[in-house]
Amino acid sequence: MGLALLCVAGAALCSGTAIVVQAVAMRRMPSDSRLDAALVGGLARNRTYLGALVLVATGFLLSFLALRTLPLFVVQAGRASSLAVAAVLSVVVLGARLRWTDWLGLAGLGAGLVLLASSVASRPAVPVTTATTWWVVAGTAALVVGAALVALGRPTAARGLVLAVLAGIAFGVLALGARTAPSWSPVDLVTDPVLWCAAVCGALGLASSAIALRRAPVVPVTALMVGFETVAGAGLGLAFAGDRPVSGAGAAAACGFVLVLAGALVVARFGASDDAPEAGAS
């Protein structure tokens, strides 16, 4: 249990740092970047962005290790502390300015995470049913279509924030795949549709977050991604993985959900008016 919690803390540190490193890399991309081959090629040649991917991969690996023994509630709540890491680093590295509303939103999100973490009962995931598989496949298809429509549209800060929401939900599906994976044997990795959907959502989340960080300020983008990843992951765990709150803690879990979402939305709403980083900035 202690090792799993250390993995969660390490994942949060890696994820929060990766978001800021991604933002630095995306500053060097054109402001009208879209989800196309040019964007992928540009990022593939960007050493800063590749470094961010290493941090992302390390964070996901640590999360996957934790999910073998901890429910999605705990892991997603712990990973959401990456928002605080990203907020502090964005001030130091990117020169971001956090207003009192940002701090209020961060405090609400933190309080919600504490409630979520304290309301969870640890138990193994239940086997994936056929109905669950179809729901995950349909949800993945909807996320891909939605992200494509938003990314191909006019590059605005509002669309960037929408992409951040979609990225967060996609990462929640990725976490569900890690939580419900029957094993890490090559046969299961190749034949499990939920794991395939998780892989697609992982790639989609990375692409959507990259564009979101170019179109909107890093703090609100991070807040929306983290908030929706936390709530989506925990909700999917409740619906499909058999995760349940501790007996009598249902109200605390519900309050935690509300606080996490409200905190993320407050940071996104009041941080959205800040100018996105200029292209070509170093």
Domain positions in the chain: 2-271
pLDDT, the chain, mean? 79
Q: Which residue has the tokens 């995470």?
A: 113
Give per-residue pLDDT as tens, 27-77.
Answer: 666 555 555 555 666 666 778 888 888 998 898 889 888 887 777 877 877
pLDDT at 43: 66
pTM over 0.85: no
Q: Which residue has the tokens 């605080």?
A: 84
Is residue 227 over pLDDT 70? yes
Average pLDDT of the residues in 133-157: 92
Written as one letter, the residue type at 31 is: S
At 204, the pLDDT band (50, 70, 90 cuts) reads very high
Average pLDDT of the residues in 150-154: 87
Give per-residue pLDDT as tens, 160-186.
Answer: 999 999 999 999 999 898 888 877 777
Higher-pLDDT residue of 21, 95: 21
Separation between Cα atoms, residue 70 and residue 191, nearest integer Å: 24
